[in-house]
Amino acid sequence: MSPNDQSTQDRTAPSSLHLAVALDGAGWHPAAWREPGARPGELFGARYWADLAHTAERGLLDLLTIEDAFGLQSGDHLTGSQRRTDRVQGRFDASLVAAFLAPLTSRIGLVPTVTTTHTEPFHVASALSTLDHDSHGRAGWRVQTSIRADEAAHVGRRVIPGVRRSELDTARGRALVAELFGEATDAVEVVRRLWDSWEDGAEIRDAATGRFVDRDALHHVDFEGRYFSVRGPSIVPRPPQGQPLVTSLAHGYAPSLLAARVGDVVFTTPHDADDAARIVTQVRTAERAAGRTAPPLRILGDLVVVLGDTDAEARDRLARLDARDPLSSDAAVLATTPSGLADTLLAWRGAGLDGYRLRPAVLPTDLDAIVDGLVPELQRRGAFRTGYTETTLRERFGLPRPASRYAAGADPALVPAPTPTGATA
């Protein structure tokens, strides 16, 4: 182990939780935009997103994720039906928001959501490589598939049959999910190969000799699979992290298996400590089934949070929001104080969670409460950092910087080894 590897391990000791925040519109509650502290008139303005990022960075959070999709928000996120006019509609492109935030921030990780279903992996690799360069090693990717028929219709290159949540456990639903996850596995593998297609130091930039690039340090990836045929190399030099952080959300075994094959961090949705223990076991089982050789997945629990100075105030806030438009959530909803939330986070950590991705019910109100209430409480308990010490997002999660797989002497164990669907090369 090198001194750098040892220092990385020390900085990510078990006593310090990983803490991320998920940003989406006016907040995760559908009635958030109608709250007094919300800023609905600014949702489509740069200042709003800059303010949120600055607040999250002031709170020393590990990273922020930015939601995205190919369709407008709706009552049924699978089919796109029941579109509401009394809810926030529309959002900025997540990768472009992250690119805008990169020079405005200095330490927090920036993780846009980008779908694999309708986006070519070459474009994804280029965009995220660029983000990693712009942010000096703070880029990540939240991998997402799209099962919505209306989103497929926007692109027009494939037909996806509408599937409701109740149909996911049918033969038809399972087949569609398997296809989309297989495509996602191949897409991430292509992106990772493209990130590796430039070796470190491939750019010579020697004006005296007229050599800008070392031609032998650029590689064709020559990927041939069921869903993609990509030659490479990338058009963007290798990212500062080598491989930006790859994350995904998992509700069950199939998405846990996808994360085990291609990811670094997995977001999960436990509803209590026992459920958290079950999920951790499920993820570790998926890692073994995938034959994972990369470092173990970092497992973060997702929670929707409604915070107040007292439990009664927090519950009243949630009741007021639900009275306007009830929240239906895949993740547990906690209405409590920052101290009460800290109690829950530390209690559930015993199940094996590495940290949490918090979804503020109302922005910026609940993000402010996380930063000004929860973070100081966790710091008092010795469970959260008091300053940023790492340079890159991978370092923050205790992950080594892998060498390009195409470089002589590269250690393949440092790169996730997915199971492509029929890929060669």
As a whole number of Å, the CA-based R_g of the chain is 21
For 156-195, give one letter per residue: b (16+ CB within 10 A) or e.
eeeebeebeeebbeeeebeebbebbbbbbbbbbbbbbbbb
CB 382 within 8 A of CB 15: yes
Distance CA 148, CA 151 (A): 5
Separation of first and last alpha carbons in the chain: 31
The tokens describing 238, both together, are 């290798």
The tokens describing 291, both together, are 């034959």
Sign of the alpha-carbon dihedral angle for 365, 371, 377, 383? positive
The tokens describing 230, both together, are 């990509």
Say whether 86 counts as a known binding-site residue: no
Residue 197's contacts (CB-CB under 8 Å, 6 or more residues apart) are: 218, 219, 220, 221, 232, 233, 234, 238, 404, 406
- From 106, 130, 99, select the one nearest 54 (Cα to Cα): 106
The tokens describing 131, both together, are 């983000």
Task: List beta partners, residue 339.
Answer: none
Say whether 209 counts as a known binding-site residue: no
Distance CA 247, CA 263 (A): 5
Sign of the alpha-carbon dihedral angle for 357, 306, 365, 251? positive
DSSP strand E in 84-196: where?
A: 109-115, 140-144
Distance CA 181, CA 301 (A): 21
- From 394, 368, 144, 400, select the one nearest 255 (Cα to Cα): 144
Q: How far is CA 98 from the centre of its chain?
A: 12
Distance CA 338, CA 346 (A): 12
Distance CA 149, CA 158 (A): 9
Say how many CA atoms lie within 13 Å of 373 toward its Cβ.
Answer: 20
Residues belonging to the binding site for FMN are 68, 113
Residues belonging to the binding site are 68, 113
